[in-house]
Structure 1
């Protein structure tokens, strides 16, 4: 059809076609029949107290929507849209990596049954974390009760991914010293148990004063990882060991990514500098989501760097 028309006209026709298809897709999630009040996004001052968690995000709040309406709002423009889609797209990318691992990559490096189980567990934990985040950000505007419940599961997802990252690292670092693996793993599980208590115990439910303690324990999950890292470095003889030179830079990048994510989250950068200007795009929580996802993929790929090293004939990362 475009052979008989100018290039500009062809582009215009293509743009109209894309616009028409997109409009029809949005119509599937149309809001006909909902109350007009539900159609309006609220400002920070108009939003219910439970949604006012960030005083620097000034507009774009969905408030007290029906569950079906919450699902539809994921396809509309509000201050949660990118929070939803950064981790929903991340979930599907991680799922694709998981399938690729099972079909191709694990057979190429031939890990032990235990190592293979850790790889599967890491992928499942990461996908669970991403999916819990998507559910929380999609439906947290339904009601205060829904918000509080979903927030607990979202925090649990963060703890799950951090703990599986740590436990897998301890396993691979001390595979020939199981007593060290048990010792470090036990401390990590104790920290996870504290997170669970702060998160799910009824006496702490809905208490804002518990949030700093929860964040402190989550940070401890990361900071404690420095101890086995230093121990592993020393046991291998420092930078003289090939495995240390190979993996230490990757471990440093992981700690850097996680530290950056927590700093952005804690200090609400950049919206604390530009209140109301990054409500929809480039807010701290969106940056947090992207960095978290990058750290998950980075550690997943680090596992295969380790597997390739071990498949070269090395039987233990730490000599017995």
Structure 2
């Protein structure tokens, strides 16, 4: 039996954790100790029970704890200092990421982005009713091998919004829209604007950009809901741009070719070429089929071939280094016209190249390359005319080659 003094206050021991210092809660002691008495331990820990079992600290035995009577005198608490400094426990913090659903939550940035994103998505999303070839009106059924991706008939706003989603006219619009910006930004600085060559410089600038302007407007607005008459007005605008390139754009080359000929012959050739171009414009504006529109430029084309042969001979003028570009400007465009007329390659794979790589896309790229060659030939020919001295005896020119070489301007 234990004595009554053993019924004193139980002295609890508090163990923080395996990593925290051990401290002893104040206890009451008496002079008389209870031998063989029992003590209870009150353990307080911030870790789990598994961490206690792995603690390096040794828990004091319950039998070593003394109890005193609650009536006995109080003594100061016994504090056991830590054997070594222990770092404070690490607190793990978690961060909840806000939902980025553009305004569906309370995120202020998302709410600000919501209207812009909705408008952008609406703009970039093609209409659900992109049509097939069989659904189009007859005046838009000009290529039976391009089967899908047709825009429905739309107003001006709908046509403009089609710039921002993909359809079967996207490549045609971009391939002739981008050159407009590039030519206007670069070509004017390359041209000599002195009085003597100002007219030829204007001819080249207008002739370089006109076909892309007409083609861009035509392909962008060809599905206007104003009917067949509006479509043919746009087609005439497209043909007008091509005519300007074939007539005014070619005048610098024609002028350089006959530069050293006598005045009567020189002006006879220039006027003859101009008359053929006017005839071609009339045929282009009144053509009723794609082949008629292509053949309306045949006579000016044939005359340029004859002038190319004249340049090869000793009678013709022009910069010798531009002869390759003079040939390419017509040869490449002719190849593009044939590919477009024969519907290659979509006639071999109907419906497989509706969006890109069809014949009209290929033709668009080739005519851009042809106008690039025209630009290179024009720049070299104008440089040649600025430095050429024509001999009246043999109608040839002695060139200041050193002045021309190293001064070519590149597009």
Match of 1:27 in 2: 119
Displacement of 1:179 in angstroms is 3.0
CA contact (8 A) 1:261 1:291 kept: yes
Report the TM-score, using the length of structure 1 for normalisation. Answer: 0.77
- What is the match of residue 239 of structure 2? 155
1:264 correspondence with 2:349: no
Q: RCO higher in 1 or 2 (8 Å CA, sep ≥ 6)?
A: 1
**Residues 304 and 26 of structure 1: is their aligned pair in 2 closer, same or farther, counting only changes over 3 Å?**
farther
**Which one is further off, 82-91 or 188-197?**
188-197
Query: 1:48·1:63 contact (CA, 8 Å) conserved in 2?
Result: no
Mean Cα deviation higher: 152-161 or 124-133:
124-133
Where does structure 1 lack aligned partners over 5 or more consecutive residues? 1-20
Q: Closer, same or farther in 2 for the Cα pair 1:306/1:194, shift >3 Å?
A: closer
Is 1:221 the counterpart of 2:291 in the alignment? Answer: no
SS at match of 1:315: strand
TM-score (norm 2): 0.61
Counterparts of residues 1-150 of structure 1 (less than 5 Å): 27=119, 30=122, 39-101=128-190, 106=192, 113-142=195-224, 143-150=227-234
Given that 1:191 and 1:217 are in contact with CA atoms closer than 8 Å, whether structure 2 keeps it comes out as: no
C-alpha root-mean-square deviation of aligned residues, in Å?
3.0
Change (3 A) 1:139 1:233: same
In 2, Cα distance between the equivalents of 1:164 and 1:73? 32
The structure number with the bigger radius of gyration is: 2
CA deviations on 1:110-156 (whole Å, 9 max, x unpaired) are: xx634332122211222122111100000010132221100011011
- Judging changes above 3 Å, is the alpha-carbon distance between structure 1 residues 257 and 25 closer, same or farther for their aligned structure 2 residues? farther
Q: Tell me if 1:176 matches 2:272.
A: no
CA distance in 1, matches of 2:251, 2:363: 22
- More helix by proportion, 1 or 2? 1
Q: How many residues align?
A: 278
The equivalent of 1:280 in structure 2 is 355
Partners of 2:122 and 2:267 in 1: CA distance: 54
Distance 1:257 1:31 in 2: 37
> By how many angstroms is 1:57 displaced?
0.8
